[in-house]
Structure 1
Amino acid sequence: MTCEAAVAWGPGQPFSMEQIRVQPPQKLEVRIKILFTTICHTDLCAWEGQNESQRVYPRIFGHEASGVVESVGESVEDMEEGDHVLTIFHGECGECTYCKSKTTNLCTKFRVDPSQSVMRNDGKTRFLTQDGKPIYHFLNASTFSEYTVLDSACVVKINPKASLNRMILLSCCISTGFGSVINVANIHQGSTVAVFGLGAVGLAVILGAKTRGASKIIGIDINDDKCTKGQTLGMTNFINPRDLKTPLHEKIRDMTEGGVDFSFECCGNLDVLREAFLSTHDGWGKTVLLGIHPTPRMLPLHPMELFEGRTITGSVFGGFKGKTQLPRFVDHYMHTDELKLDEFITHELPFNKIDQAFELLIHGKSLRCLLHL
């Protein structure tokens, strides 16, 4: 099969719209016609080559997408041609020890791995240039293409009545942020919350905290323009750290009688992570790390600080088991306005304008730019 794809040939280089060849799906693989895809900071960091393991080119980036199954490989029993699906970067095989555990959403084979650039079946790619040279995969998905091939563990069949141009956000940002509140932190009615970084994931955290009945939701960002959007989704207070003359965590402690119950770090900045940790209340405060941290620096914590009762944990894909739980998440919210998905789509562009979409993200002009294929 021949189709159009946005191919990256090197770090930070403009995307090249190419006619590529997409191979048929092999055993336990699915070929999907992508209808909608978006860009997030994970794609941006990889495209910029911030991590050495991600500097594999040529490559097709993208991981947040929705579409329709075009064909399935041998032994795929839970999907068929025409099914409506979401791609997930953090798969679920359903058979390994991790997948059978009720305490984690990790998977032995298909957990998120930015360095994975080939299919697991045979160590080869399913994308080729017109002259037969390999084009590499990204985050179990590679959605910047009209067609893509994924392991079936990374494809989620959803309700065909759901709007693919909105449920696409459950493929990454909403599930990551909202899920971290309900699955990982499991915040309770009346909780106080601080959210560090008001990109799409941070705003999804705010939305989750509002849904769970948090009494105070403090949003922190150096961009004042994020204030209005945060308030729309449930934020009660906004702080721009650049306006402060005292450390940020001291300001938050003053506002919350000793610190918030839960903080969420959504920036990928270790200095911000430390502020998030110190902004929680001693004795019970919990910090959830969501940001992507490409730096080789270690956690800026002294072990004895943990003796004060604060805890810190990471969260991948909001704690969701993608294939098991995401379809129910879609069904539960598709007929309500609790998720406010329209608030997250700030721009809509044709797929061939992908460079423009990246520019919007780089300059902080976009939460999610929906690309129509």
Structure 2
Amino acid sequence: MSSGGVIRCKAAVAWAAGEALVIEEVELSPPQPMEIRIKVVCTSLCRSDLTAWLSQAQPQIFPRIFGHEASGIVESVGEGVTEFETGDHVLTLFTGECMSCTHCASDKSNMCQVLGLERQGLMHSDKQTRFSINGNPVYHYCAVSSFSEYTIVHSGCAVKISSIAPLDKICLLSCGVAAGLGAAWKVANISQGSTVVIFGLGTVGLSVAQGAKMRGASRVIGVDTNPEKSEGAKGFGVTEYLNPNEHDEPIQQVINRITDGGADYAFECVGDTGMVTTALQSCCSGWGLTVSLGVPKNKAEIAVHYGLLLSGRTLTGSLFGGWKPKSHLPSLVDMYLRKEIKIDEYITHNLQFEDINKAFELMIQGKCLRCVIHMPTN
């Protein structure tokens, strides 16, 4: 099938850390072998986009097109692609699945060795960019870059989904909602009647809560410094809300006291390595499990007293909830279509592409869960 020619389209380009995105005309090359070009229909802002946009880490990768949580329609395919054809509905994947490496062949991992998380702003296959402005490169984010009318991904970084799934809702399964559900079900394997504590009640944390509730957890304690989140969290399964600013003692002491020794499971969904230690201290001895999901904003090292681990507590990480994205996401889409899982309820704002900077403002202010950005239809 033809891979088409160069496309000129609009994209929201970040020129420097923390500076407002600028809608620019960019050139997008044809898909290379084993790549597909996608017309983005809807994309949402994930906190990891915000974290990377604000980051002062070196080296800084700009100009850049952020976005990775998206749905769209295949516009053209590159040489060797047989899995997709023009018109297919797809979700983008910030971490892919090649189906053949050691990790993809194992049921113990979703960390693809070929198409795993790409951090350098380049494509997996040739370490080049596909976007440019006046011949100068514009870098990718997570090898997706969905804040653009069109984008290119490796065919292993997209999954075909049912054409009846609403693209303006289902895009949230590209990252946040799937990550939280998987952390609860696959990584922690929450047991019925257990006590769960969740640090951070954003989309990921509330997805953990939804997953915990569906697994029959008896107590789901939500911890967040934003009091506006307390009431809405109940709709996702949170049974108790704690605001650390409202207590005179460290929050881990509060949790240990009200749970008679600590929770069975703790989830860090903030992106704060200090909070990882707090979460571990909030778990019970013997079998307490802490799962870290957040992307750190600055300090990346975790400091943990060995005694916490010696006493039987476990600390583990979770990328995309442990899901093998191409293998498992279609079943989550089916669950949504059968009304078995919530997605719509996480969408607090629908914005047009030209208003994309408002999404960043709302997230910084803590006034949204997910802002879905609708791309131009023409």
Same fold by TM-score greater than 0.5: yes
Q: Which amino acid aligns with 1:43?
A: D
CA contact (8 A) 1:28 1:151 kept: yes
> What is the aligned counterpart of 1:364 among 366, 372, 376?
366
2:330 match: secondary structure: helix
CA contact (8 A) 1:241 1:248 kept: yes
Question: Residue in 2 aligned with 1:35?
Answer: 41
1:66-145 equivalences in 2 (<5 Å):
66-113=71-118, 115-129=119-133, 131-145=134-148
Displacement over 6 Å in runs of 4+: none
CA contact (8 A) 2:289 2:313 kept: yes
1:289-300 equivalences in 2 (<5 Å):
289-300=292-303
> What is the aligned counterpart of 1:12 among 7, 11, 18?
18
Provide Cα deviations, 1:122-170, integer angstroms capped at 9, x if missing partner. Answer: 22211111x2211111112000000000011110111111111111110
CA distance in 2, matches of 1:27, 1:199: 38
1:340-351 equivalences in 2 (<5 Å):
340-351=342-353
Among the aligned pairs, what percent are the same residue?
Answer: 48
> What is the aligned counterpart of 1:62 among 59, 67, 87?
67
Matched, 1:326 2:329: yes
CA distance in 1, matches of 2:100, 2:171: 26
1:48 Cα deviation after fit:
1.2
2:72 match: secondary structure: strand
Seen in structure 2, the aligned counterparts of structure 1 residues 332 and 339 have a Cα distance that, compared at 3 Å, is closer
CA distance in 2, matches of 1:38, 1:299: 29
1:165-314 equivalences in 2 (<5 Å):
165-314=168-317
Seen in structure 2, the aligned counterparts of structure 1 residues 50 and 188 have a Cα distance that, compared at 3 Å, is farther
CA distance in 2, matches of 1:283, 1:271: 22
CA distance in 1, matches of 2:94, 2:57: 17
1:297 Cα deviation after fit:
4.8
CA contact (8 A) 2:280 2:308 kept: no
CA contact (8 A) 2:266 2:290 kept: yes
1:242 match: secondary structure: helix
CA distance in 1, matches of 2:14, 2:298: 23
2:108 match: secondary structure: coil
1:369 Cα deviation after fit:
0.5
Q: Which amino acid aligns with 1:310?
A: R
CA contact (8 A) 2:336 2:342 kept: no
What is the TM-score of this pair, normalised by structure 1? 0.97
Q: Which amino acid aligns with 1:266?
A: C
CA distance in 1, matches of 2:80, 2:231: 49
5+ residue gaps, structure 2: 1-6
1:370 Cα deviation after fit:
0.7
CA contact (8 A) 1:50 1:294 kept: no
Q: Which amino acid aligns with 2:128?
A: K
Corresponding residue pairs, total: 369
